[in-house]
Chains A and B, each alone.
Chain A
């Protein structure tokens, strides 16, 4: 069911990863992404995979959960793999009419599959171990230099935190509407593409109606509490960096180096 979607969810805990400063976690995530994309070979991806494994071990997030978070992206991986495997040029391995499979195509596809899977598994950790509030606070803090350029940083992070806050609510709502329409005999599991697209109408319309009314209510509630943006606002939880945060950055930079070097040397 929809409730099984774990991307963007937060799992409260007390692990080292949970206690890291959220700003540093975002930077580490960026380093992690660089790690994966600097690699052009399967071996070059190994440091990235090891780094993900290390983080999962430290976070104490069950391994099963990671597999679950990968489940919804399987169709995307398969789709891109199929495209890549048939349309890349190189040493031809197999040919059937106009369809050909090349050696390079296969290699590239394998690299890409591992890369996407690791990417999703690794970046999911950011939201698994960081509460939405500290995440948006961190984004605001990281973007604060742009304030000088009159960029609405606070508004942006507020929008982000509201969006994050309502993901579970909307999922729950969708689940409820789906159940209600299923109880009225809506058939969402069979039929062709057009039929399925049509079957979405009874879900999307009520969902939009309630999302809009929810947004109106929220805006009203914020106005009633005199919300007027970031000017002069204080925080309940201030972000503080500690030695362990810098250490974590160093470790991830080491892994990035390893990734670049293995790719160059091996």
Chain B
């Protein structure tokens, strides 16, 4: 596996030179490998959204460097638009960016900007609509008459249709019902598997992060607190709690059980794994008694 995203001492200050000056990202050094499904967690205002906007060149860092596929994206020889096609970014509440009169046209906006032929645009629109679970007949409807969850899907498909190598989503499931959340997360995972893409997603739900990601980036106060696999990150439960972040509910339950003297080994952060461990524990004790 090779590194696709790398930042070097990345720092960004908002409103430089005004009374509202604020450093949102401070000295961030991360390396993200190809194919990773990385969750980004952190407090409101910890710099998550600012960080991801750097990764496709929407914000120019105050200092430091960003490398995508080994290329410094602010190098003079690099066209920033090419970086934006390589790194797809889905903003928070992306349904607010919808503007065309049919779903098809709206999803086609990105690929059209990339200059593809009609046929290629059509293929991409249909494929990405399929990934996010939009029916073919929906493509001809007006996006403004769809439900909130459907609109969200249209907006996500709009970025997926550009087939970015790296897909970044800022709270893709915020404000959706549990079933909708589940579906969209599964679709994002499907995109990654189908296209061999790298995915970064910001989330406030520890449960979602625990279940769907391969790596977790924890941000605090504009800097990186840690970047590791879910078991390692959630193994630091007390530090996360001290930071004001939660650990998955099931981890909390398991930690309580451990504290009560029940021997369960390893860091448990998904319900499935917890069930397995408890079963093992019960079986062991049954045979003993």
Kindly list chain B residues whose C-beta atoms are within 8 Å of the C-beta of A206.
Answer: 96-99
Assess whether B2 is interfacial by the CB under 8 Å rule.
no
B99 and A185 form a contact (CB under 8 A) = no
Q: Are A184 and B158 closer than 8 Å at their CB atoms?
A: yes
> How many positions in chain B have a CB within 8 Å of any CB in the partner chain?
27
8 A Cβ contacts from A144-202 to B:
173, 176-177, 179-187, 201-202
Nearest neighbor of A190 in chain B, beta-carbon distance: B81
Which residues of chain A are within 8 angstroms of B91 by Cβ–Cβ distance? Answer: 176, 179-180, 183
CB distance from A224 to the nearest CB of B (A): 21
Most B CB atoms within 10 A — which of A186, A187, A201? A186
List chain B residues, Cβ under 8 A from A202. 97, 99, 109
Using a CB-CB cutoff of 8 Å, which residues 142-158 of chain B contact chain A? 144, 158
Residues of A within 8 A of B114 (CB): 185
Q: A209 within 8 Å of B by Cβ?
A: yes
Tell me if A227 is interfacial: C-beta within 8 Å of chain B: no
| Complex contacts, A177 vs chain B, CB 8 Å | 96-97
Q: How far is the CA of A184 from the CA of B91 in the complex (A)?
A: 11
Complex Cα–Cα for A205 and B144 (A): 11
Q: A80 on the interface (CB 8 Å rule)? A: no
In the complex formed, the residue of A with least CB distance to B94 is A180
Kindly provide the distance from the CB of B152 to the nearest chain A CB, expressed in whole angstroms: 13
Which residues of A lie under 8 Å from residue B97 when comparing CB positions? 177, 180-181, 184, 202, 206
B81 touches A183 (CB 8 A): no
Q: Separation in Å of the A145 CB from the closest CB of chain B?
A: 37
Give A75 to B14 CA distance when docked, in angstroms.
26
Q: Which residue of A lies closest to B101 (CB)?
A: A205
The smallest beta-carbon distance between A109 and chain B, in angstroms, is: 31
Task: Check if B84 sits within 8 Å of A3, measured CB to CB.
Answer: no
Once A65-B18, A209-B144 are accepted as A-B contacts, the answer to whether A182 and B84 lie under 8 Å apart by CB is yes
B113 within 8 A of A: yes
- With beta carbons under 8 angstroms apart, the residue of B14, B19, B53, B162 that contacts A184 is B162
| Cα of A184 to Cα of B99 in the assembled complex, Å | 13
Contact status B56-A183, CB under 8 Å = yes
State the 10 A-B residue pairs at the shortest beta-carbon distance, nearest first. A185-B113, A205-B99, A180-B97, A184-B110, A183-B89, A180-B91, A202-B99, A179-B58, A206-B99, A206-B97
Interface residues, chain B, CB within 8 Å of chain A? 14-15, 17-19, 53, 56, 58, 81, 84-85, 88-89, 91, 94, 96-99, 109-110, 113-114, 144, 158-159, 162
Interface residues, chain A, CB within 8 Å of chain B? Answer: 3, 6, 11, 62, 64-65, 173, 176-177, 179-187, 201-202, 205-206, 209-210
Given contacts A3-B14, A185-B84, 8 further A-B contacts (CB under 8 A): A176-B91, A177-B96, A181-B109, A184-B110, A185-B162, A202-B99, A202-B109, A206-B96
